[in-house]
Amino acid sequence: MKPRPFHIPVSRRRFFKSMAAASAGFTLPGYLAEVLTTSPIVTQGPYYPLADDIPLDKDNDLVQLGDNLNIATGVVSYITGRVLDASGNPVKNALVECWHADHEGDYLYSTGTGRNPACDANFAGFGQFLTGSSGYFRFRTIKAGLYTGRTRHYHWGVTLPGRSTRSCTQTGWNEVAYSNTGAQWATQNSNDNVFASLTAAQKAAILLDFLPVEGTTTGEVYTQWDFVSGYTPVEPTYPAPGGFLASGELVAGPGSSPRYKLTFRAYPNYCYEVYSNPTLADLEWAALPFSLTRTGAIDRHKHVATAEGPLTIYVEAPAIKGFYKVSFRVPGANTGTP
Ligand SMILES: [Fe+2]
């Protein structure tokens, strides 16, 4: 059975836009020349969200989910920093992902359908940021909650442009961990099984001091942290996530049904989708199914390119408005629906 058009709701499209705005870049003063410690690569852990755990809102604000009036419970925390390569150069187009437990220590990850119902319904639990030319990233989230067996920590995944592997690390708090009821937590930085494997220099680089945000009365805190990659980004850097418009060329399909041929330049490990036929009634765009061959089965909604060069796809649905929109995701980005 061939896939039907898959409709993308408004909030998903807003995510694409917010990624573009987020990568516009900003500056922070105060960094001093220092010896760089390569960020330790530690376990991704079991709670990197699955496609159906992740909220449609995947931006860099984990505190407010979509247009919710209520925000997540917890100490609002800002993390700003840069992605640097092994030589200390800022890395443009690095995908930074952050995920962590809510105030009570529950992740949004769930092996069932949808997100973990125990997780704070107002907490996004996961966010992404694509760095601009200065390498900076910024997240607003809450102080991570504690769960049995670990001390307090954030999870980070950083994917450099041109690479298909997500480098995972974790940051902690340079403090004694207390539970929400004020009891000293059994697992501290000194006996946490992830942090215990790090060298003193690595620990110093990832155990962070959070300071009060001046001028606020709500207890907000901030910190600065650079992710220093052991890799040097592949040059040239490839496009940021986005899309382009394309017209389809009418060609003979199988039997009597015509198809529309789209050819464009693709990059390895980028995920491509094709959209068309927005309807005014509900402002929905349809992700159209397609085939990689002129007469083969219409059998997919997305395609991950394996090499750089021309990619041709064949769509059966005509572009009622006269154009298709080809949308693409960078390597390492979540490639959930459609
Ligand atoms: Fe964790």
Is 239 strand, coil or helix?
A: coil
pTM: 0.63
Across the strands, what pairs with 244? Answer: 326
What is the signed CA dihedral for 85, 132, 97, 237, rounded to 10 degrees? -60
Count of CB atoms within 10 A of residue 193's CB?
A: 11
Q: Can you list the alpha helix ranges (DSSP code H) found in the chain?
A: 10-22, 200-206
Residue 117 backbone phi and psi in degrees, to 5: -65, -20
> 284 alpha carbon to ligand 1 midpoint, in Å?
36
Ligand 1 centre distance from Cα of residue 95 (Å):
20
Calculate how far, in angstroms, residue 257's C-alpha sits from the geometric centre of ligand 1.
51
Question: Beta strand pairing status for 271-279 and 324-329?
Answer: antiparallel
pLDDT of residue 57: 83
CB distance 245 to 324 below 8 Å: yes
What's the CA gap between 296 and 293, in Å, rounded? Answer: 5
- Residue ranges with CB less than 5 Å from ion ligand 1: 45
Compute the distance from residue 44 Cα to the ligand 1 centre, in Å.
8
Cα end-to-end span (Å), the chain:
16
**What spacing in Å lies between the alpha carbon of 50 and ligand 1's midpoint?**
15
Q: For residue 269, is it left (φ>0), alpha (ψ between -120 and 50) or beta?
A: left
Question: Could you tell me the distance, in angstroms and rounded to a whole number, from the CA of residue 311 to the centre of ligand 1?
Answer: 39
For the chain, which residues make up each domain, given as ranges?
Answer: 24-234, 242-329
The CATH class of the 24-234 domain is mainly beta
pLDDT tens for the chain, 338 residues: list them.
Answer: 566 766 554 444 443 443 333 333 333 333 433 568 899 999 999 999 988 888 778 899 999 988 889 999 999 999 999 999 888 899 999 999 999 999 999 999 998 888 999 999 999 999 999 999 999 999 999 999 999 999 999 999 999 987 778 999 999 999 999 999 999 999 999 999 999 999 999 999 999 999 999 888 889 999 999 999 988 776 555 677 888 888 899 999 998 899 999 999 899 889 999 998 777 666 677 789 999 999 999 999 999 999 988 999 999 999 887 889 999 998 878 777 66
